[in-house]
A and B are shown apart, each in its own frame.
Chain A
Amino acid sequence: MLVNYSLIFVSLLLFAGLGIDAGLLERSYLQLQGAAQAAAAGSSVALQRGGSSSTITSAGQAAAAMNGYTNGTNGVTVTIANPPSTGTYAGNSSAVLATINAAVPTTFLGILGMGNVNMKATAQAVAPTLVNLSSFYNVTAIYTDGTSIPDTGGFDGSGYAYSANALGEARASNNLGALISWRGNLFTLGAPNTKNGVANTTVTLPSGNYSQLLIVASTAFGPLTETWNVYYSDNSYTSLTQNMSDWCNPQFYSGETVVVQASYRDAEPWGASTPTENELPNCIYGYSINLDSSKTLSKIVLPATRQVVVFAIGLKK
């Protein structure tokens, strides 16, 4: 009888241990998956910043290490593939695939000789194809602090403009446009004090099949409700009618995301003799249009108004 009880007890103990270990492993997997997402994001940032292959790999591995999974220690391997050889973005040089393999220690399962369980988590990130807007720029919307703004110029056509310094001091001091991020997609704004925004025109898009178009833009004297039409090579089009907040008064409309907020703007309105810093927070927003990826992209017709200025456009596969 005692033998029976002992066997039953040991069996129950093992099953209870199995349940607890399963829970612990699930927790470890969540952390491993978070680390893989961080690794993919880190390597994608390095890729979008123009990093070399080794920089892309080390950025991904550094992000994994920050989340507790250091490549080469405790049975952990972190590999970064650019382009990935498998998965949705196989062969896409804009994509990265992060894979983390780890030997996760168990507690009770060790009794059965399973001291470690090998776990694997993967995550991928894909950078957008950035549309070169330089030949379409027709508005000088961003200035460095202290630069004179024409009375009828600036972002709003009335002498107010975005401050390149407030958007990104490090690059502004080198006369470069700010680097901003939206949902893991990096955009570089146009250089300050020259044409750096696009309004009221048609922009030719790279020929290709894409699933989403990302617009980084803002509105003066808003809010406005505007329509965006994206055309395909067969002359059919996808349309988006979108509520758009004023640049200094975000309304958080559906379909609208604040991408960046600057703490002040530059001002030299009519009658002013020198540019000043106007302490009014101002934003740049993100909007997205879902595309028909079976069709070849052709162009986008921007809203027919000077009030809506586009700073960057990206395309996602």
Chain B
Amino acid sequence: MSRRKSAQKGSALIEFALSATLLITLAIGAVTFGLAVQQGIVVADAANAGALFGANGTYYITYTGGMQIVSWVAAAEASNFTATASYFCECTAGGSVVSCSSACGTDQPLYYVKVIATETYTNPFRYLGLPSTFTLQSTTVMPVQ
């Protein structure tokens, strides 16, 4: 009787150890991916916010510093965040990029603003060969005029 009880206790302990290991691994994995996904949402939102600022009007097209600041503010909770803003021109939508000072027939070219938001996410739990950092990037391009 005493031996059976002892064997049952041992079996339960092994099962608990196995299941606990699996559950903890699962929980850490979920937290790791969850945090990365959450940062990815922040990055996408920041790229959109910066580009929308640049699309406010003619004056804002060349105000790339302002677009970057708006992106940074939108990504305030990201720790290793960078934003690069630029603008470019085309004569026809989706065609070749041309100099913004060039004429397209008798008209001004089409203007676009572009913001690339990047977050280098540091993985707090490094195990099972997962990388120590993830690069999360989002790009938004907005036509202005």
A residues contacting B by CB (< 8 A) are 1-2, 5, 8-9, 12-13, 16, 19-20, 23-24, 26-27, 30-31, 33-34, 37-38, 41-42, 45-46, 49, 55, 58-59, 61-63, 65-68, 168-171, 173-174, 176, 178-184, 186, 257-261, 283, 286
Query: Is the Cβ of B48 less than 8 Å from the Cβ of A16?
Result: no
Q: How far is the CA of A94 from the CA of B15 in the complex (A)?
A: 68
A63 touches B139 (CB 8 A): no
User: Chain B contacts of A62 at CB under 8 A?
Assistant: 93-94
Q: Contact: A23 with B34, CB < 8 Å? A: yes
**A67 partner residues in chain B, CB cutoff 8 A:** 139-141
A42 / chain B contacts, CB cutoff of 8 Å: 93, 143
Interface string of B93-116 (1 = CB under 8 A from A): 110000001111011111110000
Q: Report whether over half of chain A's contact residues are helix, strand or loop; otherwise say mixed.
A: helix
Closest to B56 in A: A183
Q: Would you call B26 an interface residue if the criterion is a C-beta within 8 Å of the partner chain's C-beta atoms?
A: yes
Query: Which B residues are within 8 Å of any A CB, using their own CB?
Result: 15, 18-19, 22-23, 26-27, 29-30, 33-34, 37-38, 40-41, 44-45, 47-48, 51-52, 55-59, 93-94, 101-104, 106-112, 138-145
Q: Which B residue's beta carbon lies closest to that of A39? A: B143
Quick check: A176 and B19 within 8 Å, CB to CB?
no
Please state if B37 and A16 are interface contacts (CB–CB under 8 Å). Answer: no
Chain B, Cβ-Cβ closest to A171: B108
Docked Cα-Cα span, A23 to B35, in Å, equals: 9
Q: Which of A19, A186, A259 contacts B34 (CB 8 A)?
A: A19
- A31 near B143 (CB under 8 angstroms)? no
From A34, A58, A169, B47 is in contact (CB under 8 Å) with A34
Contact B101 A169 (CB under 8 A): yes
Known contacts A34-B140, A174-B106, A178-B108; A58/B94 CB under 8 A? yes
B102 and A20 within 8 A (CB): no
Question: Given contacts A23-B37, A30-B41, A34-B51, are A12 and B101 in contact (CB under 8 A)?
Answer: no
CA distance in complex: A182, B57 (Å): 4
Q: CB < 8 Å: which of B26, B33, B58, B139 contacts A180?
A: B58
Residue contact B138 to A59, C-beta cutoff 8 Å: no
Query: In the complex the two chains form, what is the Cα distance from A122 to B132 in whole Å?
Result: 37
